[in-house]
Amino acid sequence: MSPFRLLLRTASILALLVLLPLTAQAQNDLRLDRDRLARLDGVLQGYVDTGQLAGAVALVMQNGSVAYEHAVGWSDRESGRAMTPTSMFRIASQTKALTSVVILSLMEEGKLNIGDPVSRFIPEWKTTTVAELSDAGMKIVPARREITLRDLLTHTAGISYGTQAHIAELYSAKGLGPAAGMGWYTADKDEPVCTTMARLASVPFLAQPGEAWVYGYNTDVLGCVAERASGMTLDQLISTRITGPLKMEDTQFFVPTEKRERLVAVYASDSEGKAVRAPEGPRGQGHYVDGPRRNFAGGAGLVSTARDYARFLEMIRGGGEAYGVRILSPRSVELMSTNQVGNLHSDNGRGFGLGFETTDQYGANGMDGVGAFGWGGAYGSIYRIDPTSGLSILLMINQLPNTNDIRLKYPTMVYQALE
């Protein structure tokens, strides 16, 4: 190498070494203004005072430390039980993130590949069908290819929750769709999840595999795949691989009897937008305390606290490691948090990875930074992980349906406090 080329190469390396610390320092300089963040107190209280929410727990972590934590309103308004930071919530689709992590951890152990067909683990999925709609009506046709684990992780398998009018009766006949609460609910089923998911293969789906983003039972199927690939039940898998190591002591599929008083009551927005107590049963309070306790729904079954779920988010934000425990490799987390579906999920700068919605363009998802990702749950809770600002953002509520705008406003109120 000529002296000139050697000089250029040395200069480039030195420039890079200077730049990297500056980049890291720039990220570390992002701080939350505590006075501006405190605006959340009044905003959250306002939703309670106007009757739009019964209660909520908000938690913000930055660079591994608690930046904001606030419990507001009632855990059970009718009994006068106040909300606390340790109140337990039904987290519905926030369960999907944990099940997806289990699948990626099994991939890392060589027990499966994300390109595997589902039929490798559930034989009933060898052939599936699609309900095609045309002017002539509905026609059930064979799927053009097998559904893969990647299709399930990205919600591109064509599988819905079976509540659409043209397929609802077919799903109801199998104890699914409208016969399962809001479609996704299985906590009342006295059967293992693999029995339910094998039966799901017999009903038609909404789209051909890989051709559309359709939200539905995908992650519940993955829960069965995880059981078959590991030889363990999903509750054992999540406990041994995630919640146990991370000391998430209040995260289970069903609430222990001794903790039942900590479970938040479910409310629902009425026609005037006021929170009223939801009924008993699948469309309301559910079977999370008293029930069969047999069906571990990987897509919607867990109960957790804000503090517990924040520990999980910090593990993901940390590239698969937090609190001295590694759960996943950094490369697996990168797969999960990188858009894998192009424009199938949306055409306005939001994508979907292997378990998370991604923000690929600033402004596509409120004030989310590019590279942020997250999701939420049917009972109203939401979460975001924003690596560029070191943030894990979490809001827990139990309101179904929820017609107020707190899910939009809460992340904005956090981001406006960034200096």
Buried residues in 80-104 as b, exposed as e (16+ CB within 10 A): ebebeeebbbbbbbbbbbbbbbbbb
For residues 61 and 308, what is the distance between their CA atoms, to the nearest angstrom? 12
Tell me if residue 327 falls in helix, strand or coil: coil
pLDDT tens-digit series, residues 285-334 = 999 998 899 999 999 999 999 999 999 999 999 999 999 999 999 999 99
- Distance separating alpha carbons of residues 227 and 257, to the nearest angstrom: 26
Question: For residue 252, is pLDDT > 60?
Answer: yes
Q: What is the mean pLDDT of residues 359-371?
A: 96
Q: Is the pLDDT of residue 28 over 90?
A: no
Instruction: Report strand pairing: 129-134 vs 373-376.
Output: unpaired
pLDDT of res. 19 = 36
CA distances from 81 to 54, 77, 165 (A): 11, 6, 40
CA distances to 281, 288, 327 from 356, in Å: 29, 25, 17
Cα Rg of the chain, angstroms = 22
Q: Is the pLDDT of residue 161 over 80?
A: yes
Cα separation, 100 vs 118, in Å, equals 15
pLDDT-derived band at 30 (thresholds 50, 70, 90) equals confident
DSSP states along 206-236: SS-TTSS---STHHHHHHHHHHHHHTS-HHH
Fold type of domain 31-88+263-277+302-415: Beta-lactamase (3.40.710)
Q: Are 355 and 97 in contact, with CB atoms under 8 Å apart?
A: yes
- Name the average pLDDT for the chain: 93
**In the prediction, which pLDDT does 29 show?**
62
- How far apart CA 248 and CA 85 sit, in angstroms, is 14
Which one, of 153, 69, 137, 39, lies nearest residue 103 by Cα? 153
For residue 13, the model assigns a pLDDT of 40
pLDDT for res 354: 98
At 32, the amino acid letter reads L
CB 389 within 8 A of CB 369: yes
* pLDDT for 26: 43
CA–CA distances in Å: residue 155 to residues 84, 219, 275, 356, 378:
34, 8, 31, 10, 16
Helix (H, G, I), strand (E, B) or coil at 204: coil
Which range (53-62, 117-126, 176-185) has the least confidence?
176-185
Query: Whole-angstrom Cα distance, residue 173 to residue 199?
Result: 11
| DSSP output for 44-98 | HHHHHHTTS-SEEEEEEEETTEEEEEEEEEEEETTTTEEP-TT-BEE-GGGHHHH
Sheet-wide strand order for 357-359: 81-82, 65-76, 55-62, 391-396, 382-386, 373-376, 357-359, 350-352
Does the pLDDT of residue 127 top 70, yes or no?
yes
Mean pLDDT, range 248-260, rounded to an integer? 96
**Does the pLDDT value for residue 23 go beyond 50?**
no
> Among residues of the chain, what percentage have pLDDT more than 70?
93
Give exposure, 308-334, as e/b (b: 16+ Cβ within 10 Å). bbbbbbbbbbbbbbbeeeebbbeebbe
Written as one letter, the residue type at 7 is L
Mean pLDDT in residue range 28-34: 81
pLDDT band at 61 (very low <50, low <70, confident <90, very high): very high
pLDDT of 62 above 80: yes
pLDDT tens, residue by residue, 69-110 = 999 999 999 999 999 999 999 999 999 999 999 999 999 999
pLDDT at position 9 over 60:
no
The amino acid present at 354, given as its one-letter code, is: L
